[in-house]
């Protein structure tokens, strides 16, 4: 699921400004003599490295205030490195040989070291055997980053800042704080950014089933469940295999996409497929 930055990160609490004002008047503090635009430019260069940006922001109150919006952007980027939301996803069976057209680019084939597979009918096998996919880390606290752990002075400084409420949210991060929570009346969505399609439902119970029946890829239906050939081939030849997919809430989708006229809802089709599959396998569930 896509991470969500809670509004609690926008805090009106700020540390005292006295020290900052004194420092600003010190002629040797060249950084604070720069106009805000230049401070923002410096911070922009660090947006892809959340640790570096936080360290810069903590140098004084002035820079902490200036970098607020950039910190939000950097935090969002950091969270995205801990999730597959919005990335390409495919569920490979061990009989997957031919991949859907366009799933792997020439650059992908080089990166995954699949250049030895000259025949496109073998790329699925090579991808299935590839074992170096990184697992997203669940611990995102800055205090546990390798660079912080290996630098005692930096670790002690950040730990001291993490005790202060105004800074602790930005340093001692907990992934659970960023997970989406459905409120009454809201609904879950599985979205395909590549094809601009979505499936929408009222609870999260069957989100895995929805996803699995859309992203599967194989050439042999025996790896799947019981059912008619047309049903099982529909699953193992998933219409979304290799596409960019995420799971989010309808309320968030509406905010992000004010005009969703070019998005197609395929809930009815997917619901029919899952109900037929559940009937074939004697499992009942509420869509």
One digit per residue, pLDDT tens: the chain, 287 residues? 777 887 777 765 566 554 444 444 555 567 778 788 888 899 999 999 999 999 999 988 888 988 999 999 999 889 888 888 888 898 888 788 888 887 888 888 887 788 877 677 788 878 887 766 667 667 889 999 999 999 999 999 999 999 998 899 899 998 888 888 888 889 999 999 999 999 998 777 788 888 988 998 888 877 777 777 788 888 888 899 999 999 999 998 988 876 767 899 999 999 888 888 887 776 666 66
Query: Quick one: pLDDT at residue 127?
Result: 81
* pLDDT of 19: 47
pLDDT computed for residue 21 by the predictor: 47
pLDDT of residue 17: 56
Please state whether beta strands 264-265 and 243-249 pair in parallel, antiparallel, or not at all (unpaired): unpaired
Position 279 scores a pLDDT of 79
Ramachandran region, residue 247 (left: φ > 0; alpha: ψ -120 to 50; beta: rest)? beta
What pLDDT does 132 receive?
Answer: 63
Three-state SS sequence of the chain: CCCCCCHHHCCCCCCCCHHHHHHHCCCCCHHHHCCHHHHHHHHHCCCCCHHHHHHHHCCCHHHHHHCHHHHHHHHHHHHHCCCCCCEEECEECCCCCCCCCCCCCHHHHHHCCCCCCCCHHHHHHHHHHCCCCCCCCCCCCHHHCHHHHCCHHHHHHHHHHHCCHHHHHHHCCCHHHHCCCCCCCCCEEEEECCCCEEEEECCCCCHHHHHHHHHEECCCHHHCCCCCHHHHHHHHECCCCCEEEEEEEHHHHHHHCCCCCCCEECHHHHHHHHHHHHHHCCCCCCC
Q: Pick the closest to residue 270 from 226, 225, 240, 228 (CA basis).
A: 240
- pTM score, whole prediction: 0.75
Which value, to the nearest 10 degrees, does the dihedral of the CA atoms of residues 1, 205, 209, 90 take?
10
Q: At what angle do helices 36-44 and 68-80 cross, to 10 degrees?
A: 10
Q: Kindly list the distances between the CA atom of residue 149 and the CA atoms of 55, 155, 157, 159, in Å, as whole numbers in the listed order.
A: 15, 6, 12, 11
Length of the chain counted residue by residue: 287
Partners of residue 264 on adjacent β-strands: 197
The answer to whether 167 touches 58, Cβ cutoff 8 Å, is yes
Provide the pLDDT for residue 189. 92
| pLDDT (0 to 100) of residue 148 | 95
User: Could you tell me which of 138, 136, 145 has the C-alpha nearest to residue 81?
Assistant: 136
Confirm if 99 and 122 have CB atoms less than 8 A apart: no
The pLDDT score that the predictor gives to residue 181 is: 83
Rounded CA gap, 281 and 129, in Å? 30
Q: How far apart are CA 121 and CA 261, in angstroms?
A: 37
């Amino acid at each position: 699921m896509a991470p969500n930055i809670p509004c609690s990160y926008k805090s009106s609490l700020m540390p005292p400004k006295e020290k900052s004002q004194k420092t600003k008047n010190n002629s040797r503090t060249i950084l604070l003599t720069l106009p805000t635009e230049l401070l923002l430019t410096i911070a922009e260069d660090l947006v892809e490295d959340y640790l570096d940006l936080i360290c810069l922001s903590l140098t004084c109150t002035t820079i902490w205030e200036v970098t607020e919006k950039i910190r939000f952007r950097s935090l969002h980027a950091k969270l995205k490195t801990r999730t597959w939301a919005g990335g390409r996803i495919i569920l490979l069976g061990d009989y997957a040989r031919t991949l859907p057209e366009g799933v792997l680019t020439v650059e992908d084939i080089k990166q995954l070291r699949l250049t030895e597979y000259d025949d496109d009918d073998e790329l699925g096998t090579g991808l299935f055997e590839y074992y170096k996919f990184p697992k997203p880390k669940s611990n995102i606290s800055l205090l546990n980053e390798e660079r912080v752990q290996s630098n005692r002075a930096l670790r002690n400084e950040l730990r001291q800042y993490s005790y202060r409420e105004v800074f602790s949210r930005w340093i001692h991060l907990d992934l659970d704080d960023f997970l989406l929570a459905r409120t009454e009346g809201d609904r879950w969505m599985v979205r395909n950014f590549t094809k601009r399609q979505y499936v929408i439902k009222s609870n999260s119970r069957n989100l895995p089933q929805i996803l699995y029946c859309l992203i599967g890829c194989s050439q042999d239906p025996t790896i799947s469940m019981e059912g008619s050939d047309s049903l099982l081939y529909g699953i193992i030849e998933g219409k979304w295999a290799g596409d960019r997919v995420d799971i989010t809430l309808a309320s968030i989708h509406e905010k992000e996409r004010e005009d969703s006229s070019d998005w197609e809802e395929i809930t009815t089709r997917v619901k029919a497929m899952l109900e037929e599959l559940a009937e074939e396998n004697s499992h009942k569930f509420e869509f």
